[in-house]
């Protein structure tokens, strides 16, 4: 099973409140593997509700994959500029973070590509990594600076979080290192949380550590989603951590793979939690629906 230790998969309960979210006896499903190769990973899972299928990125192999529940996995696009994170805007258009082209793109309904962002103040982005769309249509994406040993290759020498307005007319740098924006600080092993101001920018004085997900087992904070009640799900040491809106750790989905790369809610009722690791795709059923994608306009 490509390094996935199925026999060790389990739901680990850390607090009684977990049982409202997921049953401790809930089985963890292994759906597909063989992605990414040694450089990995599988990434960017996105449930496409109209087609009742899941899209995800196979970054190293430069492919976009589709998983049909009950029908297996197929390739839907190759090449992809080694795209990573995927989401949809309010009109249902696909938004993708592309590594090789160092840009964020939007696929229009006719299939054409619009560049959402590829530079900041005339300097090329690093490697856009993940993206989310707010209910007002604003696009938030991360742009890590992943190669400080080769500064001549990069125009920007910091890891940024950016906000782009729905008309793509204004791009704002929010961080240079819904009413809360959660950001994984993978190198430090924790999740940071910021309150959002009414104009969609950050109240930087509210910057706080939401949860520390380090541990002895493999895995760092990577991939994150929120359910309709505000519970937070994020990859970390040993699996997927489930926390309440205050950062209290309620439990873990210990899926047996070395690291979680990303997660997404899906299914007709948004109660299937899909997750990718470096090489495989899995899922587990939960009791509280995730926030739908695209979000409902406010």
The pLDDT profile of the chain, 298 residues, written as one tens digit per residue, is 344 444 589 999 999 999 999 999 999 999 999 887 655 689 999 999 999 999 999 999 999 999 999 889 999 999 999 999 999 999 999 999 999 999 999 999 999 999 999 999 999 999 999 999 999 999 999 998 765 555 556 788 777 889 999 999 999 988 766 455 656 565 555 566 767 777 777 666 666 667 777 777 777 667 889 999 999 999 888 899 999 988 899 999 999 988 899 999 999 999 999 999 888 999 999 999 999 999 877 6
Strand partners for 289 = none
Q: What is the CA radius of gyration of the chain?
A: 18
User: Taking the model in full, what pTM does it have?
Assistant: 0.87
Up-side HSE of residue 162: CA atoms within 13 Å toward CB? 30
- Phi, psi dihedral angles at 10 (to 5 degrees): -165, 165
Q: So what's the pLDDT on residue 78? A: 95
Give 123-127's long-range contacts (Cβ < 8 A, gap of 24+): 123/155, 123/156, 124/154, 124/155, 124/156, 125/156, 125/160, 126/102, 126/154, 126/156, 126/159, 126/160, 127/84, 127/99, 127/102
Q: So what's the pLDDT on residue 2? A: 43
Say if CB 120 and CB 129 are below 8 A apart.
no
Q: So what's the pLDDT on residue 40? A: 60
Count other C-beta atoms under 10 Å from residue 203's C-beta: 13
Q: So what's the pLDDT on residue 1? A: 39
């Amino acid at each position: 099973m490509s390094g996935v230790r199925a026999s060790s998969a389990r739901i680990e309960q850390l607090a009684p409140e977990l049982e409202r979210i997921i049953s401790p006896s809930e089985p963890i499903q292994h759906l597909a593997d063989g992605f990414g190769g040694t450089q990995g990973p599988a990434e960017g899972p996105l449930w496409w509700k109209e087609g009742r299928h899941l899209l995800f990125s196979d970054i190293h192999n430069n492919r976009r994959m589709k998983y049909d529940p009950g029908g297996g996995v197929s390739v839907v696009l190759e090449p992809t500029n080694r795209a990573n994170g995927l989401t949809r805007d309010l009109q249902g258009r696909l938004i993708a973070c592309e590594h090789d082209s160092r840009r964020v793109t939007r696929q229009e309904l006719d299939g054409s590509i619009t560049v959402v962002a590829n530079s900041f103040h005339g300097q090329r982005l690093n490697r856009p990594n993940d993206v989310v769309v707010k209910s007002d249509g604003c696009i938030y994406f991360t742009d890590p600076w992943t190669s400080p040993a080769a500064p001549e290759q990069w125009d920007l020498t910091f890891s940024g979080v950016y906000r782009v307005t729905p008309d793509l007319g204004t791009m704002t740098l929010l961080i240079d290192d819904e009413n809360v924006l959660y950001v994984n600080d993978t190198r430090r092993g924790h999740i940071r949380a910021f309150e959002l101001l009414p104009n969609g920018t950050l109240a930087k004085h509210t910057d706080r550590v939401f949860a520390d997900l380090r541990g002895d087992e493999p895995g760092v904070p990577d991939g994150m989603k929120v359910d309709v009640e505000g519970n937070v799900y994020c990859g970390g040491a040993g699996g997927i951590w489930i926390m309440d809106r205050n950062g209290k750790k309620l439990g873990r989905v210990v899926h047996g793979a070395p690291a979680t790369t990303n997660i997404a809610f899906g299914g007709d009722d948004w109660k299937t939690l899909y997750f990718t690791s470096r090489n495989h795709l899995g899922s587990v059923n939960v009791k509280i629906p995730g926030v739908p994608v695209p979000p409902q306009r406010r």
